[in-house]
Amino acid sequence: MPASHLNDELNIIDDLGHEQPAAVADETRPWRILVVDDDAEVHNATAFALQDIRIDGRPLAFIHAYSAEEALAEIAADEDIAVALLDVVMEHESAGLDLVRRVRQDLGRSAMRIILRTGQPGYAPEMRVIREYDINDYKTKSELTRVRLLTTLTTAVRSYDQLRTIMDARRGLALIVDTAADLLARRDPGDFAAAALAGACRLVGGGDDALLCAHRQRFANYPGDTPLFVIGARGRFAGSLGQPLKDCGAPGTLAAQAGAERRSLTDGGRAAFFIAGENGHDAVLYLETTAALTPELRQIVEVFCVNIGVGLENAGLIADLSFSAFTDRLTRLANRSGFVARLDDHMRSGTRGWTMALLDIDHFSELNDALGHHKGDQLLLSVAQRLCNILTPGMVLARVGGDVFGLLGPDAMLDPRLLLDHFKTPFLVDEYSLPIKATLGLTRLDEVGDSDGIDLLKATNIALNRAKSGDRGRWHYYTEDMARETRSRLDRLHDLRIAVTQQRGLELHYQPQVELISGKLIGAEALIRWRGPDGEFIRPDLFISLAEYSGLIVDLGAWVFKTAVGQLHEWEAKGLPSDMHMAINVSLVQFRDPLFLTRLRNALAETGIAPQRIELEITESVAMLEADTVIGILSELKEMGIQIAIDDFGTGFSSLAYLHRLPIDRLKIDRAFVRDLDSKSGSGASIAQTVIGLGRSLGLSVIAEGVETEAQAKLLMDLGCPLAQGFLYSRPVDAEAFLAWGRARR
């Protein structure tokens, strides 16, 4: 409906003094007149005398009762009877007065006017009774000519109308006063809105369908440009909660117009009350009612609206405070806490068939570094905007981490294929067109049973990590198996933490390194062993990554270093070669530990071991990962005199140029190539040959690991590899066995 047309149909109610022409509305609201008499003739005569009569523009409607009981039933059923024309003497002499007493006292009807009529003059009640029962008039039937009847009735009707107005106002004001304290104490906007709507509906009567709308930037936390949205909804509008007004149909249109024109509007039984707020924080109360929206009633509602305005201001202030706690500053979306709260709400609501998702922007930190933080922010905003477009009512979008968005919505809306479709076209950031990809972790909420928001976030994060680490697909749904794995990982982490902090169950084993030609012992590699709580050895492959992931590797590594250096010292005293070295594995995480170098120095100083006898093994992939960190620390180590070996060489992707920049001493040929050396099909020989050649040209020493057979040892020697380590010589053994092995070699 075009706005102008709509306008014509609206009555503007902010100029309450000037009543609009009453014709249409009042035809539907006749004065209800009850005629009580046991004589049918009186009914007919009354109706005839008063036919086509209007009082103040409103017609009359007659209700007929022929006994006191009938009359009582009619009055009980109809709250809006203006006047009762009542025969005093019916079944018995006091039947009429008994009825009056019951109406006033038992039914509590004080507004209805009563005109007593009697056939015989001798039955006039005493003045005391007339006053006590608030009887308007007492007339004998013969006195009541048509004109007398009409004037008496008109007076009674007007007085009824005034009484009703006053009583309604008083009732309304009492209700306003009653609810004010409760309303103003509410701090949560949603809570407040619900209470305000309940009050408004009670006040107006005649319906339970209402909306409270306020400005979105105030209470909600998603971007958008619709100024008013629904913060409270009641009755058949309940589903509109959280929606912008433009999505609320005709009620939304009327409410939006009231908001835009900053005044209250009515349209038949529909009313939008404008509530002016400070700093443009206006609100609109919309309701639909079958009750007559009289000017007096509207005035009372306006008074109530003042309370709503004040209350909103209060709730708004609090909301502003909690806003920052639950809102991401950049996108104005919910933040992690806000998202968790919405998840909690959702789980409490018992809604079925919903999914939550975490969406991670691939390689965001690299983009952020490359483009600068300002452009990084803009990229996040445009991703947020694009995701916003897919939201339907009730769905939630949040920014739960730097480049991770949280989504909550119906299963079908969060289909990962659909979500990722939104990343098919590049994102525009200033002059850049950025082809962005994303990874998703999802949880079907029906499948997780009783969980809270935090648990759900964790679960979905597990799925997200799975999706990120996996090479199949860009998304992963959370499953119970994942939970089990995660739990056992956590259990193991717990055990490992105890082992590391209390140094229980940890041991070092040592594997000799030999010169291929002479078989001479030249060094040992320290390899960690962990005997878990059940007494079984747990393989390092299984717990080293856990220790790295949890940061425990820092303490663990420090312990390894101290123990291995101490062992070398002890062996020397017990007769092993004083020039043999100790190779120790280090992880990248340890490099990031600011105390790393200090710990090394201290351990060396304690034992007096020369730094040249210590060799650190870092894997090729680690050396490649963080070039700047790695090169910096390696150079310092070099300065101290410590030797560096690149472990698992050949498995990574070192470029020659990069290798050249690294201050290293040795390459360690990965055992996979050694294993393939004597197999016919393997490419081991050619790779081993390449590594050996590379080492020679870079002036680096080369050692082969995983040598298990004499044939392998021979081939390596032929290829020019000088050093080896492997089961052929010895498995990793404890310190005592190693000592025995070393002594036997001499």
State the residues that interact with ligand C2E by CB under 6 A. 511, 526-528, 539-541, 544, 557, 560, 585-587, 617, 647-648, 671, 705-708, 726-727, 732
Count Cβ atoms below 10 Å from residue 545 Cβ, excluding itself. 13
We find the least distance from the C-beta atom of residue 555 to Ca ion, in angstroms, to be 20
Q: Which residue has tokens 């009484």?
A: 163
We find the least distance from the C-beta atom of residue 642 to Ca ion, in angstroms, to be 15
We find the least distance from the C-beta atom of residue 591 to ligand C2E, in angstroms, to be 11
Which residue, 230 or 526, is less far from ligand C2E as judged by CB?
526
Please give the full DSSP string across 179-236, using - where no structure is assigned. Answer: HHHHHHH--SHHHHHHHHHHHHHHHH-S--EEEEEEEHHHH--S----SEEEEEEEGG
- Nearest Cα residue to 360 out of 439, 456, 270: 439
Instruction: For residues 250 and 3, give the distance between their C-alpha atoms in angstroms, rounded to a whole number.
Output: 11
- Nearest Cα residue to 544 out of 603, 483, 499, 592: 499
Return the amino acid letter for 649: F
Which residue, 233 or 609, is less far from ligand C2E as judged by CB?
609
Instruction: For residues 675 and 673, give the distance between their C-alpha atoms in angstroms, rounded to a whole number.
Output: 5
Please give the full DSSP string across 405-456, using - where no structure is assigned. Answer: EEEEEEGGGG-HHHHHHTTSSPEEETTEEE---EEEEEEEGGGS-S--HHHH
Distance of CA 330 to the CA centre of its chain: 16
End-to-end CA distance of the chain: 102
We find the least distance from the C-beta atom of residue 670 to ligand C2E, in angstroms, to be 8
We find the least distance from the C-beta atom of residue 651 to Ca ion, in angstroms, to be 9
Which residue(s) pair with 427 in the sheet? 434
Instruction: For residues 245 and 226, give the distance between their C-alpha atoms in angstroms, rounded to a whole number.
Output: 8
Which residue, 586 or 603, is less far from ligand C2E as judged by CB?
586
Which residue, 453 or 512, is less far from ligand C2E as judged by CB?
512
Which residue, 176 or 552, is less far from ligand C2E as judged by CB?
552
Contact at 8 Å (CB) between 578 and 528? no
We find the least distance from the C-beta atom of residue 645 to Ca ion, in angstroms, to be 8
Residue 676 site contact among ligand C2E, Ca ion, none (CB < 5 to 8 Å, cut-off depends on kind) = none
We find the least distance from the C-beta atom of residue 351 to ligand C2E, in angstroms, to be 48
Residue 373 site contact among Ca ion, ligand C2E, none (CB < 5 to 8 Å, cut-off depends on kind) = none
Residue 500 site contact among ligand C2E, Ca ion, none (CB < 5 to 8 Å, cut-off depends on kind) = none
Residue 726 site contact among Ca ion, ligand C2E, none (CB < 5 to 8 Å, cut-off depends on kind) = ligand C2E
We find the least distance from the C-beta atom of residue 548 to ligand C2E, in angstroms, to be 8
Instruction: For residues 449 and 456, give the distance between their C-alpha atoms in angstroms, rounded to a whole number.
Output: 10
Which residue, 257 or 590, is less far from ligand C2E as judged by CB?
590
Residue 541 site contact among ligand C2E, Ca ion, none (CB < 5 to 8 Å, cut-off depends on kind) = ligand C2E
Residue 257 site contact among ligand C2E, Ca ion, none (CB < 5 to 8 Å, cut-off depends on kind) = none
Binding site for Ca ion (CB under 5 A): 585, 617, 647-648
Which residue, 403 or 525, is less far from ligand C2E as judged by CB?
525
Query: Based on the number of CB atoms within 10 Å of its own CB, is 596 exposed (0-12), middle (13-18) or buried (19 or more)?
Result: buried
Angle between helices 480-502 and 553-573 (to 10 degrees): 40
We find the least distance from the C-beta atom of residue 601 to ligand C2E, in angstroms, to be 19
Which residue(s) pair with 538 in the sheet? 530
Query: Which tokens belong to 84?
Result: 């009762």
Query: Based on the number of CB atoms within 10 Å of its own CB, is 491 exposed (0-12), middle (13-18) or buried (19 or more)?
Result: exposed
Which residue(s) pair with 399 in the sheet? 405
We find the least distance from the C-beta atom of residue 728 to ligand C2E, in angstroms, to be 7
Residue 210 site contact among Ca ion, ligand C2E, none (CB < 5 to 8 Å, cut-off depends on kind) = none
Which residue, 130 or 560, is less far from ligand C2E as judged by CB?
560
We find the least distance from the C-beta atom of residue 324 to ligand C2E, in angstroms, to be 43
Which residue, 46 or 513, is less far from ligand C2E as judged by CB?
513
Residue 540 site contact among Ca ion, ligand C2E, none (CB < 5 to 8 Å, cut-off depends on kind) = ligand C2E
Which residue, 244 or 557, is less far from ligand C2E as judged by CB?
557
Residue 514 site contact among Ca ion, ligand C2E, none (CB < 5 to 8 Å, cut-off depends on kind) = none
Which residue, 403 or 647, is less far from Ca ion as judged by CB?
647
Residue 706 site contact among Ca ion, ligand C2E, none (CB < 5 to 8 Å, cut-off depends on kind) = ligand C2E
The runs of H, that is alpha helices, within 228-335 are 249-261, 295-326
Residue 586 site contact among Ca ion, ligand C2E, none (CB < 5 to 8 Å, cut-off depends on kind) = ligand C2E
Q: What are the residues whose beta carbons fall under 8 Å from the beta carbon of 554, sequence distance 6 or more?
A: 589, 590, 593
